Amino acid sequence: MILYVNHIMLAIIWAAVTGSFSPSNLLFGLVLATGSLYVIREQVGSLGYFTRARRVISLGLLFFYELVLSAWRVAVLVMSPRMDLKPGILAYPLTLERDFEIALLANLITLTPGTLSVDVAEDKSTLYVHCIDCSNPDATRRDIAEGFERKIIEAFHPMSADEATK
């Protein structure tokens, strides 16, 4: 099931890249996707389902918004005559457990304002984040927890039966 989804996705990407959604090209993309998935067959764990599409899109929108915002903030910061910086590294306790989710969170954090994932602890319990403004670490932690982390849980966490039917 999961591989099947991956197949489809890759085939669609193939069609997008080649710019032709003709059946034969999609079929060919499927063949190619088989090949490229075969290559990573060990690493592919379970990925979400189509039912999560809405949440994924929501996550995506949040992300683009944050990206633009962060770029703007950095721009302002850099261009200001006297940069007022209070950088530092804070430890963020993770509630996420799966690698995929942790990686996604870390990347999203990196792409957003003033934060940069430096490392994940060996035991996956902590994410170390470099903040360009570390004057209030707790606030930063809270922003992450209520922003990306929550959205990720919504989008990708194993759903209970009732959630799935929502």
Partner 1 sequence: MRTLILRTVAPYLTSLMVLFSIFVLLRGHNEPGGGFIGGLIAASAFAIYGIACGVQAVRRAIRFHPMAISGAGLLLAALAGVFSLPFGVPFLTGLWLDGDPFGFSIILSTPLFFDIGVYLVVVGSITSIALALEERESL
Partner 2 sequence: MIDIVQNYLAGTLIIIGSAFTLVASVGLVRLPDVYSRMHAASKAGTLGSGVMLLALAVVAEDQATVTRALAGILFFLLTAPVSAHLLAKAAYAAGYQLWGESVLDQMEPVNPAGKEKASDKSRQ
Query: Would you count residue 125 as binding partner 1 (CB under 8 A)?
Result: no
Query: Would you count residue 67 as binding partner 2 (CB under 8 A)?
Result: yes
Question: Shortest distance, CB of residue 32 to partner 1, whole angstroms?
Answer: 6
Query: Would you count residue 86 as binding partner 2 (CB under 8 A)?
Result: yes
The answer to whether 92 and 51 are in contact (CB under 8 A) is no
What is the per-residue DSSP string for 21-77?
A: --HHHHHHHHHHHHHHHHHTTTT------GGGHHHHHHHHHHHHHHHHHHHHHHHHH
Query: Would you count residue 102 as binding partner 2 (CB under 8 A)?
Result: no
Question: Shortest distance, CB of residue 42 to partner 2, whole angstroms?
Answer: 19
3-state secondary structure of 12: helix
State which of residues 132, 145, 153, 159 lies at the interface with partner 2 (CB under 8 A): 132
Which residue carries 């997008």 as its tokens?
16
Q: Which of residues 55-94 bind partner 1 (CB under 8 A)?
A: none
